[in-house]
Amino acid sequence: MYRLRLRLPPRQSAPFRHQDLLHDALVNGWTAAGIEGSEVTGFNARPWTFAPLSYRQDKLGKVHTLVVSTPDPVLAAALRRLDPAEVRYARASTGEMISFAGAEVIPEPDPIPPGEGMLGCLMLSPLVVKNRVSGGKRWIADLRSVDLGAVINHRLSRIAGRPVNLIAQADDLYLRANPKHDVLVSLKQMPNGRHAFVIGMMAPLVIAGSEDDLRLAWYAGIGEKTRSGFGCLGLMERGIGR
């Protein structure tokens, strides 16, 4: 298990229109570190997640830091030798280009307490949950309608190959003050020129459980589409940071 931040120098940021550009730049970094593309993309890929710490300006995203994390030992070994200069991608069809050359590599310490524990978390990247009710919208947009523990445990149990039993709840006061806490993320531009979007949710969470289960959630991310840059957790006490 390993987690790091790629942080551009102060007052520097990289523009992007679609989050898939960041994903593809990281895939390029993974492959340069010796990982096969099939190990980080596709249905059978190894688990990993990332979060772009960014802001909006002139209708563009401006990312200054990438948080990258994995619970997988093979990917963790590659992440330790990741070269920021290889985290780059250019897409001629949309006129986009991004590079993290010159970024500082900052390993993140393991924050998981020993034994049974509890984490106060925020979402560094939105939590994505599919709406599996027939005839409904594709994505859940309200955490009050989600059994959060079941959503988290379902995917993490599949990753771990064993039952994961975390208890999770969104902060009630935050949800009352922010009934609309969904965000629309532009994932990519399709060949026909249309844009693919994903709806995720942002709110503080409390997650409790065993040391092993909490550590898995921390490094793997929670919810769905984590390899596309969703579900990456942060600590409330640390905030988002730069």
pLDDT tens per residue across span 107-158: 999 999 888 899 999 999 999 998 877 556 789 999 999 999 999 999 999 9
Tens-place pLDDT, residues 186-230: 888 777 778 788 999 999 999 999 999 999 999 999 999 999 999
Residue 94 has which token pair? 């949309």
Percent of the chain scored above 70 by pLDDT? 98
SS3 state of residue 149:
helix
In this structure, of 10-14, 24-28, 59-63, 140-144, the range with the lowest mean pLDDT score is 59-63
What per-residue confidence (pLDDT) applies to 223?
95
- Residue pair 76/35 in contact (Cβ under 8 Å)? The answer is no
Torsion of CA 13, 18, 23, 29, to 10 degrees: -50
**DSSP structure class, residue 139:** B
Residue 242 has pLDDT above 70, yes or no: no
Fold of 2-107: Alpha-Beta Plaits (3.30.70)
| Domain ranges in the chain with CATH number 3.30.70.1900 | 117-235
What is the amino acid identity at position 115? G
SS3 state of residue 155:
helix
Mention every residue, 6+ apart, whose C-beta is less than 8 A from residue 145.
none
Look at the block and give the residue holding tokens 């020129």. Answer: 193
Residue 140 has which token pair? 């859940």
Threshold 0.85, pTM exceeds: yes
What's the CATH code, domain 117-235? 3.30.70.1900
What per-residue confidence (pLDDT) applies to 232?
97
| Strands 60-70 vs 88-91: parallel, antiparallel or unpaired | unpaired
**DSSP structure class, residue 125:** S
